[in-house]
Structure 1
């Protein structure tokens, strides 16, 4: 993000005219390594098109689109000309803000500048004497408090107070007034009853600009045994216009005005009542901005020229926000409009401006003087429709997408469980009594947890509930709750306050997996709170159903009858959360992270979910259900056949053999892997073995763990990844410094080379446990040749004392550097194991856990396939083998591509092994190689997937035709 900084300001600059000023500005950019000298031509050409004078003694010179090739890095610099420079034949410029922008980042700077121009600062710009004064002047924003019709909504469907809090936050977020985290920061203890069923709440957490939103429930709900119909949510910060806020409070506490507010359902009337800005009821047209860099200075200037041709007033709003004059350049730039956002133009009735709307909209579509790539306008406008602000429509076949968490197809009537509401007194009957209440509740939950452990069918579920028991025994947890109890809080109030604080802290961790464990804290927290408040568990329907919840805690899933729960759909969560792990363990199809709108699905509405790709369909047509039934039956039949032949070797139809191995993280899982047909363990995640111990396992403990795995494998190869922990996967007994970006920090081999005693101990335990059985050791996160050689040197030193004849040593290929160095590394390593999860993440610069971008981090992207191709070719040239141990190895569309690339081993989860082996037996290696040639020529992951899918369909049709 661009920022205005004092170090970027040059004071006391001199220029006789604009030509010299532009040369001065270009020199500054060149001096700071932002551009090459040729960028000056771009600045000059831009001024010829139209002067960049902004107003009040400020200009914003920048290059033309063609001159972006001369930009080395995006940046902004400021030059103060105390004598002034005549800029457009009329106005003098005292401050030039010169921009070198490769993208639309400079819109953020323009928003800052145009906000400053809302008041007359021309004299201050002229007479400024220091960089600090300039920055303070530009970044100052006038006191404000957004009161707007678009921040008011009535007839909101709500079952509880959380629905109203969520909806009020969405109104504020849509106008970019608050950021993510505002909702979490709303403290129910700060709710204030104003009278009637009107309540207010205030928060200063994650507030971008002060504002007030008002929501009225369709039907009042109950909170603390009182009616709750209207919520006034105040987003407050130090920029709040306090007199305006006080005027609002005066209205709310005026009996007559309050009564009118209490009864009023029309949002425009409510806006009038509280003195909020109201959208003019004028003719309107919407248009999607197609300019690659949004509504920056040049297209905005052309828009102003166009709108000024009409006598009538023309206003414009961004994404249904507040309206500004379309005839004001500064107001237009203050919108910060980007490509794909929606502008709404309205025109003063009975003026020529009404007829001009069509021309204005067409001009925006055409790019306002810039060449533009068309956007899917219908899809964008549909997404902006008012009725989609709160809940997704459930009429017809509404197909949507979440995160695939547990494979399989499922459909059935929706059983929607909304978050439980707990009522309790804030203050208790004394510390001793409240402490006893809490002890009894915790003891009862422990008994239930032990029952759950004893009755759980899956080891994973037992382990999770065991972890929950340990949480309840955590002395820090008890200590934290006691600190609240000594302040006379009731047991439920003290318990809830501490659990929420602990869960919030957990969510703030940068490691996605650890952050998702906040759900476990809240899970045990809710179980104890339910006992304290006497809230009974929700009864399960008798017939099969689709469970829909905000987030499904592990205890929720494990207590359910898996023969009745056809599938799970949640509003939040990730594929690595415990709830997803449990769902997979119980073989229940699950889609998570689908958004809060799923909670508005009516109970008994038919829902179809696809746990393979994350899609779900509300009220599907019968044809879709019929197809799902057929597909589910086909998948079940394929699995049965695959499981029967799971122990057979994996050989293609033209006699090419591929080894299929298992990824495991717990030593107990190796037996299941062998039973599933694993021909080896292709990845033992030893960090998870370490995590299974409360303290660092010593050499003897590790040796016993590794010996158990090798014994169970009975001669099958074991590939072990040395300890892969770091900033993103910390161990409680192995603290590492906090890092700004742990994925690019001290992890894997980078950490263990700096803690060589850890690496020596682990390697010694492995060598001693091997007994000359097939052991393969690989080092993770190798990106430099020096790292490989340093790690190998430690191992070679240990081999003198602990020889192991059946040993191979290799590396994980997880960073592009390793793949690019493969021709060199292949001369020294015994094998490569490609971790496609990380390789994809680093190649595409997309955090695989990112809520918006994770779906784009696809291992079948041609760039990733090219790196795999280079790695395989380099390895085979030196007689070395290559495995793939990332999630891609079990992807049915990726398997033919990986086989065609020549990958020798595919390693995956136990449950995926039978199907993957069965699929490979149907493939022809020569055909897969031809497929790879086409895949490497594709331009996207989507194109690769479509190519493979088409080939599979063609093969299936040919097979069916031959059978007939």
Structure 2
């Protein structure tokens, strides 16, 4: 008899394959006394070396497939495993308490988990948990990565970004977890691999068994264990329909993004790595709405040169010669800086505090500007003063380059990201100075509700459909348009089907999304009428919570745009 588990749809597609249960090395380790502390210290240091080699290998593998968030995470874990203080702390524990290496690691992890971390410390704790998981895996001979010789569905309690980075897409058919959310970094990485995924099932690891046949419905968040022949046949047909739908979307790659009643929009691409530049045309991108330059700055041992930056930005501009390319000034997370604060030590304020890096990057951008339609974007701006100081530095570097005989584009747009409540409230003033806005919904939602995109029981506060989010976005759009400026949204909200009609109707000029999301979004837009959406927006803004908004939009789409794919399977 089959068993159905419901979770959160994290990555589309349908797959039928056997289960591979990923062992959890974070299980309890009973403290064990040892009579040979030297041997245990040696085993501990062996595990440091093996884990560092493993993370280095994963990092090299991930560099061609994933973005800066994965690389930052892996670099943070490598820094931790190679930290002599961290190693010394665990070694001293083995010696002083005369316990095994595994016992020392487990005891340290338990102590750290019992603390109440600040926001800045939370990132380090996450890295510590992942590193500790790997150390225990090597010390206890438990697998820390999938060991597959056939295609299978990974079923795990949870997956970390570094674990996803180790997946072989040829062998991993899909992913199911007990915990997690659709906007968690690991879930987004699974989606980048194009693997069907269902997260937040709560009990998949206890209900599934090794090699048990499973159906993963990543479109609707369903896991079916031991399906009947009838269910297998049904989902095989659904999988074929999904593939046909993907092929139909391919025909929209060269189509214009225009609604049924003639309103024109742009769908640009979020680009994280150079390899994605070759896929822009096939994906149907109408420009680059967010070029994340952070990947250039990830190796602290080898600072990127100005010439290397010029070459990178030139390649991006030449990839989209007829379209605008928005390059964001680097915004490396403060979680990769020991002792730094995740809120205050990032974005433009971090760069203004140490403007050497900023000046070098701005010079490189200005030199590359002659190769296309460049727009420069400053991240995490909260005050008018910050933005004006950044503009002043840009103007200074431009004057120096011109004086030195370097050509610089005459037409150059300079804008900012809207990611803080302060920027929302002052949008009308920012619009006097910025050429454009780009709403970073991921950070904006977090800061609006003082929450994070985590699996915490309080995670329900993070919702892009909350009327407070919608009102904030409408306010920014109105402020931009009042000054004749264009506005985009480049966060994950732009990929949420129930949010897309509302964003369009509120007047966004552009949506910037991952490559795989461009054509489905274009298909939806071409089926909608902006005039018909206006009453929907008015009702949504007057509601009290995200559930009411979701029900309202879902009912509207089911009637007006059934091809949006929100209907559940029979």
Shift of 1:629: 5.0
1:766 to 365, 388, 395: 365
After superposition, where does 1:33-44 map in structure 2 within 5 Å?
Answer: none
> 1:677 maps to which residue?
284
CA apart distance, 1:769: 2.3
CA contact (8 A) 1:414 1:601 kept: no
Match of 1:951 in 2: 556
Shift of the alpha carbon at 1:565? 4.5
Give CA-to-partner distance per residue, 1:724-774, whole Å, 9 cap, x none.
346xx3444xx6x555xx44x343223333333343332222212222631
Corresponding residue for residue 643 of structure 1? 250
- How far is the alpha carbon of 1:574 from its aligned partner? 6.0
Residue 529 of structure 2: which of 919, 924, 934 is its match?
A: 924
CA separation in 1, counterparts of 2:466 and 2:449?
A: 9
Residues 46-82 of structure 1: per-residue CA shift (max 9 Å, x gap): xxxxxxxxxxxxxxxxxxxxxxxxxxxxxxxxxxxxx
1:784 match: 383
**After the TM superposition, which residues 563-578 of structure 1 pair with which residues of structure 2 at under 5 Å, given as runs?**
565-572=172-179
Question: 1:930: Cα distance to partner?
Answer: 4.4
Q: Tell me by how many angstroms 1:659 deviates.
A: 1.3
What residue number does 1:460 align with? 66
Query: Is the Cα–Cα contact under 8 Å of residues 43 and 139 in structure 2 kept in the other structure?
Result: no
Q: Following the alignment from structure 1 to structure 2, what is the Cα–Cα distance between the partners of residues 461 and 874?
A: 32
Aligned to 1:818: 423
Which residue in 2 is equivalent to 1:888?
493
| Residue 205 (structure 2) aligned to one of 589, 593, 599 | 599
Seen in structure 2, the aligned counterparts of structure 1 residues 723 and 556 have a Cα distance that, compared at 3 Å, is closer
Q: In the alignment, what sits opposite 1:521?
A: 131
User: Is 1:550–1:599's contact at 8 Å kept on the other side of the alignment?
Assistant: yes
Structure label with greater radius of gyration: 1
Cα contact 1:517–1:578 (8 A) shared by 2: no
Structure 1 residues 934 and 455, CA gap change in structure 2 (3 angstroms): closer
Q: Does 1:494 align with 2:494?
A: no
1:906–1:564 distance in 2 versus 1, CA, 3 Å? same
Q: Tell me how far apart the structure 1 counterparts of residues 395 and 145 of structure 2 sit (CA, whole Å).
A: 59
Distance of 1:399 and 1:779 partners within structure 2 = 44
Shift in CA distance, 503/750, structure 1 to aligned 2, threshold 3 Å: farther
Q: How does 1:132-147 map to 2 (within 5 A)?
A: none
Classify 1:416/1:856 alpha carbon distance in 2 versus 1 (closer, same or farther; 3 Å). same
Shift of 1:446: 4.4
Q: Matched residues in 2 for 1:775 and 1:461: separation?
A: 21
Match of 2:323 among 700, 709, 716: 716
Alpha-carbon contact 2:524-2:561 (below 8 Å) kept = no
TM-score, with normalisation over the residues of structure 2?
0.78
Closer, same or farther in 2 for the Cα pair 1:810/1:537, shift >3 Å? closer
The equivalent of 1:121 in structure 2 is none
Tell me the residue number matched to 2:119: 510
How far off is 1:682 after superposition? 1.0
Conserved? CA contact 1:670–1:712, under 8 Å: yes
State the partner residue of 1:859. Answer: 464
Q: 2:351 aligns with which of 752, 755, 764?
A: 752
Within 5 Å, which residues of 2 pair with 1:7-22?
none
Cα distance, 1:807 vs structure 2: 0.8
Question: What secondary structure sits across from 1:517 in the alignment?
Answer: helix
Cα gap change, 1:790 to 1:951, in 2 (>3 Å): same
Who is 1:549 aligned against? 156
Aligned to 1:804, the other structure's residue is in SS state: coil
Listed as ranges, the gaps of 5+ residues in structure 1 are: 1-394, 960-964
Q: Where does residue 404 of structure 2 map in the other structure?
A: none
| Structure 1 residue 907, shift from structure 2 partner | 0.5
What is the deviation of 1:882? 0.7
Match of 1:874 in 2: 479
- 1: CA distance, partners of 2:164 / 2:471: 41
Partner SS state of residue 460, structure 1: coil
Q: Does the CA-based 8 Å contact 1:837-1:887 persist in structure 2?
A: yes
Offset of 1:614 from its aligned partner?
Answer: 5.2
Aligned counterparts of 2:249 and 2:162: Cα–Cα separation in 1: 32
For residues 486-506 of structure 1, give each alpha carbon's deviation from its aligned partner in whole angstroms, at most 9, with x where no partner exists.
Answer: 83999x943773587479769
In 2, Cα distance between the equivalents of 1:821 and 1:852?
A: 32
- Deviations 1:87-124 (CA, angstroms, capped at 9, x unpaired): xxxxxxxxxxxxxxxxxxxxxxxxxxxxxxxxxxxxxx
Task: Check conservation: 1:471, 1:477, Cα contact below 8 A.
Answer: no
| Partner Cα separation in structure 1 for residue 522 and residue 299 of structure 2 | 31
1:534-553 residue CA offsets vs partner (Å, 9 max, x unmatched):
989987596x6543223346
**CA displacement 1:171-225 (0-9 Å, x = unmatched):** xxxxxxxxxxxxxxxxxxxxxxxxxxxxxxxxxxxxxxxxxxxxxxxxxxxxxxx
1:829 is paired with a residue whose SS is coil
Distance across 2 between alignment mates of 1:500 and 1:509: 21
Distance 1:712 1:517, change over 3 A: farther
The answer to whether structure 1 residue 589 and structure 2 residue 225 are counterparts is no
| 1:893 Cα deviation from its structure 2 partner | 2.1
**Alpha carbons of 1:951 and 1:632: their partners in 2 closer, same or farther (altered >3 Å)?**
farther
Residue 519 of structure 1: how far off its partner (Å): 5.3
Structure 1 contact 681–907 (Cα < 8 Å) conserved: yes
- For residues 461 and 81 of structure 2, the distance between their equivalents in structure 1, rounded to whole angstroms, comes to 41
The structure showing larger relative contact order (alpha-carbon pairs under 8 Å, at least 6 residues apart) is 2
Structure 2 distance, partners of 1:627, 1:645, is 28
The alpha-carbon distance between structure 1 residues 928 and 483, as it changes in their structure 2 partners (threshold 3 A), is: same
Contact 2:288 2:324 in 1 (8 A): yes
> 2:270 aligns to what?
663
CA RMSD of aligned residues (A): 4.6
Deviation of 1:644 (Å): 3.8
1:909–1:600 CA distance, 2 compared to 1 (3 A): same
SS at match of 1:823: helix
Aligned length: 550
TM-score, scaled relative to structure 1? 0.49
1:940 is matched with 545
Which residue of structure 2 lines up, in the alignment, with residue 205 of structure 1? Answer: none
Q: Which has the higher helix share?
A: 2
